[in-house]
Amino acid sequence: MSDAIKHPTLYVGKVDNINRGEHFKNVTIKLEDKKLINIKLDRVDESSLVMGRMYQFEVVIEMKNDVDTFFQCVRYDAIEDILKPEEIDALYDIFYEVAPKKISDIKKGIEGYIARIQHQDLLAIVSNIYDTHKHAFYTHPAATKFHHAYVGGLSYHTLTMLEIAEKFFDIYPYLNQDLMIAGTLLHDMSKIGEMTGVDGEYTTEGLLIGHLVMQAIDIDQTARALNVKDTESVMLLKHMMLSHHGLPNFGAAKKPQIPEALLLWYIDTIDSKFTVLGEELEKTKEGQWTNALNVLDKMKFYKSKQ
């Protein structure tokens, strides 16, 4: 028994390590000042904690013989559930290499595009999948390396693609806007399951199946769970997932065979390559060449003096 128990205290930190044993379970978190504290999890279900993610922990501090101190967790919440957008942005800046746009602004943009979907089946599927993965979507990288490999990279990449697609709608009015928005929003969503997160390691499912097929399966299962009929729109959305890498040697299960799938491939390619090129040019002096860029066939690019 503890000789003294303090009132509950709140700590906000990034999960640095999770320890589980036959008779114990605890988590080590890193605070804003980089200090590490160990929190016991005996009184809570810790199964939803994710390495690298940030949480607010409510703990009681128990002291024994005025020497040993125990931080006992009584509750924890993802910071995205309880903090204000500006507070979340500030914490991301402290703990992560983050997207060049504030996460709160990315979220506002993404949800604005979701609200534009008028096709009820597509809206139901997108909303369900988005709500399921919402927190991880805004912290996940878009890749382990090469492009958007930082916290928020996945959602930033997705929003940029939506903004690019927007420019095509007036020029090519035959494009189905609802399908294009839905497909773009979901095309990389299964990277959340393909990679472990901010540490950027591939999962077994990611290596054996890959996010294109994983997302087509997720759409199919979500449609069935929502009692959405296997309509042509659902089929086309699945086709966009399977084909958005364009060619089999790039990982596509099918080649794009509808206009929206073709555009999805092109804008995905454009953003992944031009983002990396822009980042490299920022580090390059005028009148000099960039390093060889893997995403651009290891080519070098000249930064003009103009």
Q: How many domains does the chain have?
A: 2
- Report yes or no: 143 and 149 within 8 Å, Cβ to Cβ: yes
Q: Do both 203 and 264 map to the same domain?
A: yes
- Domain boundary (81, 110, 131) is at 81
Q: Do both 156 and 253 map to the same domain?
A: yes
- Tell me, yes or no, whether 89 lies in a domain: no
Q: Do both 218 and 135 map to the same domain?
A: yes
Q: Do both 27 and 116 map to the same domain?
A: no
**Enclosing domain of residue 249:** 96-282
- Tell me, yes or no, whether 287 lies in a domain: no
Q: Do both 159 and 105 map to the same domain?
A: yes
Q: Do both 270 and 140 map to the same domain?
A: yes
CA–CA separation, 177 vs 115, rounded Å? 12
- Tell me, yes or no, whether 88 lies in a domain: no
Q: Do both 132 and 214 map to the same domain?
A: yes
Q: Do both 22 and 107 map to the same domain?
A: no
* CATH number (domain holding residue 25): 2.40.50.140
Q: Given a cut of 50, is residue 50 above it in pLDDT?
A: yes
CA–CA separation, 142 vs 151, rounded Å? 8
Q: Do both 45 and 11 map to the same domain?
A: yes
Q: pLDDT tens digits, residue range 114-171?
A: 999 999 999 999 999 999 998 889 888 766 555 566 788 899 999 999 999 999 999 9
Q: pLDDT tens digits, residue range 53-70?
A: 899 999 998 876 666 678
Q: What is the pTM of this model?
A: 0.80
Mean pLDDT (the chain, rounded): 90
Query: What are the start-end ranges of the H helices in the chain?
Result: 79-82, 85-95, 103-116, 120-139, 153-171, 177-186, 191-194, 204-208, 211-225, 232-243, 259-282
- Tell me, yes or no, whether 290 lies in a domain: no
Q: pLDDT tens digits, residue range 5-36?
A: 567 899 999 999 999 888 889 999 999 999 99
- Domain boundary (24, 52, 81) is at 81
